[in-house]
Amino acid sequence: MEITGKVTVVTGAGSGIGAALTRRFIREGAQVVAADINEESVVSVATDTGAIPFRCDVSREQDVIDLIDFTEKNVGPITLFCSNAGIAIKGGVECTNDDWQRIWEINVMSHVYVSRALIPRMAARGGGAIMITASAAGLLSQIGSAPYSVTKHAAVGLAENLYITYGEQGIKIFALCPQAVRTAMAGEDSIAAVDGLMEPEELAEKVIEGLKKEEFLILPHPEVRTYMQRKAADYDRWLRGMQRLQARYLQGLPLKGGS
């Protein structure tokens, strides 16, 4: 799909991947509404790019509805909605209920809110697209963070269901599943950085390529497809390999690819 001249919304646009997507979409000629809970950050990105800023807490359904209403009333019908905002929480099942609930609301329910409010409108006018930023962790796993792995798996599952359910109504669904990207969420010592950190600007280029190809899975790191194939070919072997990788991570040893 082409986005030149099209109305596009990006959440989590105040920094990281969202800011890079906003800049790249503006260069592509899209009309972009940049949304983020951090109003100061998103205003700064908007000032630099020419996007329209909007403060939005994606964990609140009414905020998401307000963002969609604002965009369609003041800019035009949304062609592409990038449901990109997300957070990471370290730890396993011992994480507090509050932490589990918070990451669930942001990493999963925000996509539900977008879909619930926007898909009927898109379907009524013949089509549109939603891109959910999930993660390679949603296809593989995430050592060191059960909440992140679980919610990103859920995000991929939701994207798959939306594709199956609404594809014949003209709704295009994309699942963006990168490995580590150089943002505040991923540090150099992160297990996610096993194959190195990608710059947000490079990821944004990969997104443009993926949108044009109209592939459901947008994989900025091509090795993720290989890891998925290994996982599907021999699940138990893959799990044992991940156990070894985790052991190296916990011991502070150098990490090598092989998910």
Pairing, β 31-36 against β 7-11: parallel
Distance between start and end Cα atoms, the chain: 31
According to the model, what pLDDT value does residue 251 have?
77
Neighbour count for residue 4 (Cβ, 10 Å): 9
Classify residue 91 by burial, with Cβ atoms within 10 Å: 0-12, 13-18, 19+.
Answer: middle
CB 256 within 8 A of CB 223: no
Report d(CA 160, CA 140) in Å as an integer: 15
Sheet strands side by side (includes 7-11): 52-55, 31-36, 7-11, 78-83, 128-133, 171-176, 217-218
DSSP E strand boundaries for 92-223:
128-133, 171-176, 217-218
Sign of torsion, CA 231 138 187 246? Answer: negative
CB 36 within 8 A of CB 13: yes
Q: Which amino acid is at 67?
A: L
- The size of the chain, in residues, is 259
CB 147 within 8 A of CB 99: yes
pLDDT tens sequence for the chain (259 residues)? 999 999 999 999 999 999 999 999 999 999 999 999 999 999 999 999 999 999 999 999 999 999 999 999 999 999 999 999 999 999 999 999 999 999 999 999 999 999 999 999 999 999 999 999 999 999 999 999 999 999 999 999 999 999 999 999 999 999 999 998 887 665 544 555 556 689 999 999 999 999 999 999 999 999 999 999 999 999 999 999 999 988 887 776 555 544 3
pLDDT tens sequence across 25-78: 999 999 999 999 999 999 999 999 999 999 999 999 999 999 999 999 999 999
pLDDT tens sequence across 210-232: 999 999 999 999 999 999 999 99
Residue positions annotated with a catalytic role: 148
What would the CATH number be for the domain defined by 7-223?
3.40.50.720
According to the model, what pLDDT value does residue 180 have?
83
Report d(CA 246, CA 185) in Å as an integer: 19
C-alpha closest to that of 152 among 104, 113, 119: 104
According to the model, what pLDDT value does residue 230 have?
96
81 in helix, strand or coil? strand
